[in-house]
Structure 1
Amino acid sequence: MRSIAWRLIAVAATAIAVSFPMSTGVAFAATGVVETSGAALTVRAGPGAGLDAWSSVANGSTVSIVCQTEGSSVTGSQGTSTIWDMLSNGGFVSDAYVHTGSDGYVEKKCSYVGAPPRANPRGVNAAISWQFARLGSTAHEGWCMRFQAQSYGWGASGWASAEVGGDWIQSHGYMRTTGIPPRGAIVWYHNSAGTGHVVVSLGEGKIIGTSVSGKVGVAGYLYRTGYRGWSVPHFPAAG
């Protein structure tokens, strides 16, 4: 009986160990301290030195790391590293400039969306970088579907509206309604006008797209009502 009891305890402990990280999300993110020669550390749109630079973090600042991923190689105060840290604002910094107490991963790997049936001209990180380069712009209001298609390298989506696109995605089995949208996923919404809305996921519950306080901006993926779900970045009618 005692051995059975211990086995039950072991099973319960394993279940807790497996489920706990999945349920915590970014609430228990790892932290690190920015260490440069004194200059501020550039925050980029994705894990690469060639991606859009849109913000910075002061030397000596403590940052929250919500996930980590592989990217371009950078040599900094902590040595040479290909690890990039996603911050709570949705941007990335090179781990080569962040003291975490480890040369390896200290947080879970960032979750990326799967490949769509039809390849896009531009990849996930390049598409997100394209959008970050337009952060704060009001020029794309009312054109959310075209904006997303263009970010992935297309001239236009080929759909009359995000509602039409979302209906196609749903009817063809691509719409997912559970789980936090992974990085690069297209996130779909209904709206009162019947035209729908669409943005792209940065991962870890963040999105970037049009109509965030009337401009291109970053928000949580439930920042508006009418959430439909998310899909791979598939634009079958685009050209």
Structure 2
Amino acid sequence: MKLAALAALCVAGLASLANGYPIQKADVVNCRNGPSTSSGIVRTYSKGTQVKIDCQAPGTNIFGNAIWDKTSDGCYVADYYVKTGSDGYVAKRCSAGGQGLIGDDYPYKHNCGGVDPWNYYKCQCTSFVAWRINKQLGVKFHNQYKGTNWGNANSWDNAARTTHVPVNAKPVRGCVAQSNAGRYGHVAWVAKVSGSSVTIEEYNYLGKERYSTRTVPKSTFNYIHIKA
């Protein structure tokens, strides 16, 4: 009898894992279109709902956990609310710069004064893109990357060429959009490529020290491929 009961428990446990991981710690949890609390809400899950995780991505830190789980419904839920049995990654990483990772997860958006860890002024376009490169590409980019001063946005294309980082007119998700227009130029993060258009994320363009997104013709920018 004891062996039979144990076998039944084992089968039940396997069935639970096959169905996904349960939502915990809140009666209702939001599932968003990106791994941040500023991303739009796609749907909600009730406590106890089993969710399947397709991939995981870094995002807004929720009570010490910065992992977000992309569920089989195509939206992101904070891993803090999902009982995976681990504080770390239990699934593959979501593709860097991919559609659905759009959202203002910039850590200094409420503290725009001073210089960031990459030696740029906080809440400027250069600081935001340096953050994206470090966070999503895992590249330790900074203002003196590869021994060259990258400086203002209008010098990023020349700095890239000097350090043999590819610069071309062919955007891909997760590359840097760069323009020499204006006094200081502009850089942005390519979040999506669709036909002859690109969707970019940026800071300090549509509003002073503010996050925004735009969809523009590919020809608007040069494209720097930090991680070719």
TM bucket, shorter chain: 0.3 to 0.5
Q: Which has the higher contact order (CA 8 A, sep 6+)?
A: 1
TM-score, structure 1 normalization: 0.44
TM-score, structure 2 normalization: 0.45
